[in-house]
Chain A
Amino acid sequence: MATVDRPRGTRRLRRLSQRFSLWIVVLAGIVLLVAGVASAATAASATSAAPAADADGGFIRGARILAPDHLRLQLAGPVSALDRANFRLTDDRAPDVPIDIRDVVAEPGNKILLTVGERLDPSAAYRIEMRDPAASRAVRPAPWALLLTVVLSSALINNFVFTRYLGLCIFFGVSKKRDTAVGMGITFSIVMILSAMISWALFSLVMVPLQIRFLQILIFIGVVAFLVQALDTILKKTHRSLHQKWGVYLMLITTNCIILAVPLLNAAADSGPAESFALALGSGIGFAIALFLMSCAREKLELARVPVAFQGLPIAFTLAGLFALAFMGFSGLSFLR
């Protein structure tokens, strides 16, 4: 080594930076891509929403969905007409159909609690209007809450392995040892985010304008194959030790259904860049969690006396069923209320 005569700290720093430089570049790329696209998106939405900005808010300072049938308004001052006819609530998806308001109750601090006749979806957008004094306001979840909910939902509530059964081949193949499970989880999450972002860019910037949505299967699997091959080649040339450690997992990723399912789901929902990123991040985390838990349990299983007919995959499936049962307890988690 040429660095033998250097002080130890510098050497370590250098080795660390060498070891992680590729990941730093990859992460920086992702962050830049997301930041750029997100800022462009917010700028676009800000310009389109500008004419309506003065109509928004005004007398109604805030509106929040408390429970599926309760909506709380924060007003700027006291209101005299506590009449159901004074308020009009509409769903942005059907702006002509007013939602039935059952009850209006005034609360201390210029607050009003509306009881509604339908179930409100906390992730959807609504509009509340007042006749006297005239005001209107959009009722929609905060963007960060929506994104966090997407991450949480795809990682835990709708875990891709335990509730959607995707990526099972890899899941059962790699979860025998804890080390391999961790390596696969990390590699998979990184590749997942990269491929989801590339697929999103291709889909919304190329395929939608050219009207070739029907080619999505062909193009998305091409993206995955290309990305995995490219990462493999780059790693082999630049970080040989990293490649020796994690190159195996890279090649396995191509056969994982999740990596294809996430772009397909994003395309089906016409997700924006931030939502695509959140779904990819959540599914990567979810897969890593599932792998890690399963590998811990299967290491213990090595010591157990399993009935002969159940040895191997059958007992692994039963174990996964127990995990799936436990993951059902996560349903209902949300940042939206």
Chain B
Amino acid sequence: MSQPILLRERPPSARTLLMNGIFGENPVFRLALSLCPAVAVTTTVANGIMLGVAVLLVQVLSSVTVALTRRGIHPRVRIPVYTIIIAVWVSAIDMVLAGFFPSLYAQVGLYVKLIVAFAIIISRLEVFASRMPLIPTFWDGLGMGLGFLFALIVIGVFRELLGSGAILGYAVVPEKPLLFFALPAGGFFSIGLLMAFFNMIERWRNGGKARASGGGGGHGHG
């Protein structure tokens, strides 16, 4: 990666922002943010898509709201204001999902409510939406949301395929290859394996040098 997006002079283009959200700064695999739901709901692809769409909507809507109102928000109270904005949109999305998809909602309902505590959303508001005009903010929110959705689908496919031999409920493999991956413990293993995989790809792309900054392993050893 060259320069961090925010240090550039002009607002970046929509394509850059979308790609940045999905690959360059993927919330789950690269930034290692908001992992709780990523492990929790990805036992099946359908659950992952449900939560991913919820996060996408909340991210875009609250980013846009902050971008529109940022001149009216005093910097000293910005964090509480952002929290309230997110909480309002989460409540709205929560009610919509509970109304239209009751059976799926019964499984992931708690995690939809907990979107309000996701680090990824508030950090995007703080880092991006509070400084940029409306249009780039929209694309950034969309990119981050799509990146999250993408990560959830990848983990969901991995776990559902290995755990129950199916994708989206349709049987692909006749038997259940590794039931372990559908269990709670399997979620941790799948994320660990996928993260290591993404780290490995990153290393190959950088010609075997050390990991690029902010990689999935950035939390650990220096």
| Residues of B close to A78: CB separation below 8 A | none
Residue of B nearest to A302 (CB): B221
In the complex, whether B34 has a CB less than 8 A from a CB of chain A is yes
A158 CA to B35 CA, complexed, in Å: 18
**Contact among B84, B114, B183, B193 with A257 in the assembled complex (CB-CB below 8 Å):** B114
A172 CA to B32 CA, complexed, in Å: 10
A310 CA to B199 CA, complexed, in Å: 8
Place the interface of chain A in its size category. 35 or more
A/B pair count, beta carbons within 8 Å = 133
Task: Say yes or no: B197 contacts A309, CB within 8 Å.
Answer: yes
A328 CA to B182 CA, complexed, in Å: 13
Task: Say yes or no: A312 contacts B84, CB within 8 Å.
Answer: no
Task: Say yes or no: B220 contacts A316, CB within 8 Å.
Answer: yes
Binary interface encoding of chain A residues 295-306 relative to chain B, with 1 for a CB under 8 A from any of its CBs, else 0: 000000010000
Task: Say yes or no: B36 contacts A173, CB within 8 Å.
Answer: no
In the complex, whether A315 has a CB less than 8 A from a CB of chain B is yes
In the complex, whether A10 has a CB less than 8 A from a CB of chain B is no
| Residues of A close to B104: CB separation below 8 A | none
Main secondary structure of the interface of B (DSSP, over half): helix
A324 CA to B193 CA, complexed, in Å: 16
| Residues of B close to A265: CB separation below 8 A | 110
Total B residues in contact with A, Cβ cutoff 8 Å: 46
| Residues of B close to A225: CB separation below 8 A | 80, 83
The segment from A98-106, A159-167, A275-283 found at the interface with B is A159-167
In the complex, whether A2 has a CB less than 8 A from a CB of chain B is no
How far in angstroms is the closest Cβ of chain B from A114?
A: 34
| Residues of B close to A268: CB separation below 8 A | 110
Would you give 7 A-B contacts (Cβ < 8 Å), ordered by A? A165-B37, A168-B35, A168-B36, A255-B119, A260-B113, A311-B220, A312-B215
Residues of chain A having any CB pair with chain B under 8 Å: 162-169, 172-173, 214-215, 217-218, 221, 225, 255-257, 260-261, 264-265, 268, 302, 307-318, 320-322, 324-325, 328
